[in-house]
Amino acid sequence: MDEANRVQERKPEGARKKPRKVSARYLENAALHYLKRYSATVSQLRRVLMRRVDRSLRVHGGERAEALQWVDALVDKLVRNGLINDSAYAGMKAQSLRASGRSSRMIAQKLRMKGVPAELVQQKLAEATAELSEEEAARIWARKKRLGPFRRDARTREDHRQKDLAALARAGFSFGVAKKIIDAEPE
């Protein structure tokens, strides 16, 4: 095959390959491959699988109701086998977000976006807050972002006070906590 023919056979930029026809076995393999790479909630995995189902049905046709039953059965099987555990996921995610200086509001929002049930969000948030208070988390966040007492140039600290307070507010911390951190003495 010469160079001219090889160039013609290439797919255009951004062209996707044709999806495989969906089956119960295909969905199980796709789910296991996804879970090997990512920690996920039931809701996240269901979303990923349904995207694959919808893409396949657009190209190959078929019954969406049947594919939905396959997804439900697969998710139930994975939960029973312990490969998906919303409680463990929420606990791990809440702990890591809190340790990185995230506010309670931000943690709750991120967990809700991942499809974690509200009662589980509150429980795991309470556990994470028991280990590291909101004020300590705000201090970590301020240090990471070099706000207030953590600024490199102490002379510009007062000039940037309002910006620093706003940055902590955007990160989900209350005004009282933000004011306490920004007005603290440098360590």
Domain extents in the chain: 17-80, 86-131, 134-182
Instruction: Calculate mean pLDDT across residues 95-101.
Output: 95
- Is the pLDDT at 173 greater than 80, yes or no? yes
Query: Token digits for 14?
Result: 């951004």
Instruction: Say what the alpha-carbon torsion angle 10, 16, 18, 24 is, to the nearest 10 degrees.
Output: 140
Whole-number Å distance between alpha carbons of 113 and 159 = 36
Instruction: Calculate mean pLDDT across residues 10-19.
Output: 71
Residue pair 93/114 in contact (Cβ under 8 Å)? The answer is yes
**19 pLDDT tier (thresholds 50, 70, 90):** confident
Q: What is the pLDDT of residue 153?
A: 82
Over residues 136-168, the pLDDT tens digits come to 999 999 999 999 899 888 788 889 999 999 999
Instruction: Calculate mean pLDDT across residues 55-77.
Output: 93
Element (H, E) at 168: helix 161-170
**14 pLDDT tier (thresholds 50, 70, 90):** low
**57 pLDDT tier (thresholds 50, 70, 90):** very high
Phi, psi of 127 (to 5 degrees): -65, -45
- Is the pLDDT at 13 greater than 90, yes or no? no
Residue pair 106/129 in contact (Cβ under 8 Å)? The answer is no
Average pLDDT, the chain: 90
Q: What is the pLDDT of residue 34?
A: 96
Residue pair 54/62 in contact (Cβ under 8 Å)? The answer is no
